[in-house]
Amino acid sequence: MVSPGLPKRFALPLRLLISFVVFNAAVRLGLLIFNGDFSLLAPAKAVPIFAIGMVFDVAAGVWWLPLFVMLTAFWPSGWQRSLRLAAGLMLLLMCAMFSFIAVAEFLFWNEFAARFNFIAVDYLIYTREVLGNIRESYDLRPAYAAIVTLTLLLFAGQRGALRAAVDAAAPRRRQGLAALAVALLLPVMSFFLVQPRFKEFSEDAQAVQLSGNGHYEFWSAFRNNEIDYAQFYKSAPLARAYAVLRSEFTEIGPTNFRPNARMPIDRDVAGRGDERHLNVVLISVESLSAEFMSAFGNRENLTPNLDRLAGESLFFTRLYATGLRTVRGLEAITLSVPPTPGNSIIKRPNNENLATLGEVFKERGYEPLFLYGGYGYFDNMNAFFGGNGYTVVDRTAIAKDRIHHENIWGVADEDLYSMALEQLDRRHAANKLFFAHIMTTSNHRPFTYPPGRIDIPSGTSRAGAVKYTDWALHEFIRQARERPWFKDTVFVILADHTASGRGKTDLPVENFHIPLLVWSPGNIKPARIDTLASQIDVGPTLLALLNFSYRSRFFGHDIIHDGPGHQRAFMANYQTVGYMEGGVLVELRPQRRWRLIDVDTGKERAADERGMHYLEEAVSYYQAASEAYRSGSLGLSESRP
């Protein structure tokens, strides 16, 4: 283990590094088997998965060396008992940490089909919700047993090296300093030489994820939680990006751009008739994938009420979510902005007093409301909506005796809807118009809800949560029909994101597909709209249906009138952002990398003239959106006449 001439005490840190690499290779194999795609065991994929994985394992493992090198290099000879105690305790804690992280990786993979990313970093902030969700979703006894067992096995495997290190004489001071210098240099080299892009040897997203290392990925995500687009992504001269972006809007019809505006798409939107001052109830439903609805081919009859409602609504069949988290959906709906890299604007600093959908309604005397079934401090929702002129009402407004069921994420949807009805009744009684954005929580792990509502027991499956979500929405609509404000109200129903982002590519298009229904009997005629669109288009489409004239810097457009002339969608998964048009998906990644994907096959395609045109459009949208936030051009002060 230790070469001749090298002090025997250094056997411990070397043995620890080797064990770390072997242990993480075993975790990698376990995740591969757990993932269930055994085609990844083919040599063409397995060899690079494990070879590249070893690079990341070593890169992460060397960060643990300095502590043990210091201990073994400078602890005086003759103090073996105290050294044994200190080293043993440190080793036990480290083995427990490695075991905990390994088990956590399996839980995280089960939820996101990925190694740790900046969602895991967020979980450090919202430990109450996250740990509560884990406790309510899983039987943790096997996980605890696995952590204890792995800890003891790892510790037992190091006891020989520990005993040899403790019993050996301390190295000479010069040897100790040299060893410490090497131990400190290796993490520095790891930091600068090993890059996340080393994993991207394949188009298969699962293979790429498996070749990573949980420790490395977590700290990489921590460092890159906020990403500067201009520094890390493919860009163009800003004037060129702005010119391309403007052409995107002029391509679909005459556009009245504001002269001398900082935002290239700052424009006046004219309504197509007299303004219709109807109330609006916009419901963003947790994780409502299009695949759950019979209208999209599901045969489990999970959403009978939504499917029936779809036939009575403006039913948009080709709408795509911008991301895989609630804050991405809320961002797209509220700000009509593409999903720029890193965190959602909802979670970033300087996100108050922005030009929002609610502000357009507020200018007409509406009261914008954000109604949420959970605690609004989660994901910064209270601060964001409150800082942008919305009245925020969350679960704290619901009396305990009015709650039929709650879990760590929030109250049951039926209780949220009861609270919403009370809030809307109050506004109507005070002769106020309202724009109410309701965010549900029940269709989320642990998938629990009040008993006796549907024929699937609570807490047993996603299917049950979807069916309960549909039942609760039906009850809300049924009760709303009895209100005096119903006949003058538009209901907008869509998902915040889908239930899963798993796929062979970073951005599996089919896993961003969500439904959109706009329903208002007597006010909006039912129709089926098959135009490709994105969540950022929901707000402009709603305002067009109401014939509102307003000043806009929204990146979205009216799906009904403008959409057919330019069909495209935006989507993002952590650090990869995408733009889909004409059967081509443009992926933009850090280090200014990009690629073109054929939507039908999921395979990379050649960079032909059409593909390069879409690439330029994608860059223009994302670069302009990132610059608008960075420069403060999304602020209300920039949108006032």
Domain positions in the chain: 8-223, 232-269+279-639
How many CB atoms within 10 Å of residue 147? 21
* Residue 84: pLDDT over 80: no
Per-residue pLDDT for 497 more than 90? yes
The per-residue pLDDT for range 187-236, each reduced to its tens digit, is 999 988 998 878 878 878 788 889 988 888 888 766 655 677 887 899 99
Q: What is the pLDDT of residue 630?
A: 87
The percentage of residues in the chain with a pLDDT greater than 70, rounded to a whole number, is 92
Specify whether the CB–CB gap between 487 and 472 falls below 8 A: no
Distance between CA atoms of 278 and 428, rounded to whole angstroms? 12
| Banded model confidence at residue 128, pLDDT cuts 50, 70, 90 | low
Please state the rounded mean pLDDT for residues 463-479: 97
Where is average pLDDT lowest: 84-98, 267-281, 337-351? 84-98
Handedness of CA 151, 152, 156, 161 (dihedral sign): positive
| 559 pLDDT above the threshold of 80 | yes
Decide which of 155 and 388 is more confident.
388
Which of the residue ranges 75-84, 90-99, 482-491 would you say has the lowest mean pLDDT?
75-84
Among the residues of 436-547, which ranges form H helices?
A: 462-481, 538-545
Residue 402 CA from chain centroid, whole number: 32
Q: What is the pLDDT of residue 637?
A: 59
What is the predicted pLDDT for the residue at 119? 64
Place of tokens 């039926």: 414
Please report the pLDDT score of residue 477 as a whole number: 98
Integer angstrom CA distances of residue 107 from 113, 464, 632: 10, 21, 39
The two counts, helices (H) then strands (E), for the chain are: 21, 18
Please, what is the average pLDDT of the chain? 89
* pLDDT digits 0-9 by tens, 341-385: 888 899 888 899 999 999 999 999 999 999 999 888 888 899 999
Q: How confident is the model at residue 6 (pLDDT cuts 50, 70, 90)?
A: low
* CB-count exposure of residue 259 (10 Å: 0-12, 13-18, 19+): exposed
| pTM, two decimal places | 0.80
Q: How much is the average pLDDT of 5-19?
A: 75
Give the number of other CB atoms < 10 A from CB of residue 55.
18
**pLDDT score of 127:** 59
Question: Worst-scoring range by mean pLDDT, 119-133, 246-260, 422-436, 521-535?
Answer: 119-133
The percent of residues above 90 in pLDDT, for the chain, comes to 60
Average pLDDT over residues 600-628: 94
In CATH terms, the superfamily for domain 232-269+279-639 is Alkaline Phosphatase, subunit A (3.40.720.10)
pLDDT for the residue numbered 59:
92
Given a contact cutoff of 8 angstroms between Cβ atoms, the answer to whether 265 and 245 are in contact is yes
The whole-number average pLDDT for the span 21-46 is 91
* pLDDT at residue 489 tops 90: yes
pLDDT above 50: residue 639 = no
Q: Burial level of 35, CB count in 10 A (0-12/13-18/19+)?
A: middle
pLDDT score of 407 more than 70:
yes
- Asked if residue 215 lies in contact with residue 101, where contact means CB atoms within 8 angstroms, the answer is yes
Query: pLDDT band at residue 1, thresholds of 50, 70 and 90?
Result: very low
pLDDT reported for residue 640: 42
Confidence of residue 322 (pLDDT cuts 50, 70, 90): very high
Do the strands 593-598 and 584-589 form a parallel or antiparallel pair, or are they unpaired?
antiparallel
pLDDT at 641 over 60: no
pLDDT at res. 159: 77
- The stretch 321-339 carries a mean pLDDT of 96
For residue 2, pLDDT over 70 is answered with no
What tokens were used for 242? 């702005």
| Strongest mean pLDDT among 137-141, 178-182, 636-640 | 178-182
What's the pLDDT score for residue 123? 62
Mean pLDDT score, 495-506 = 83
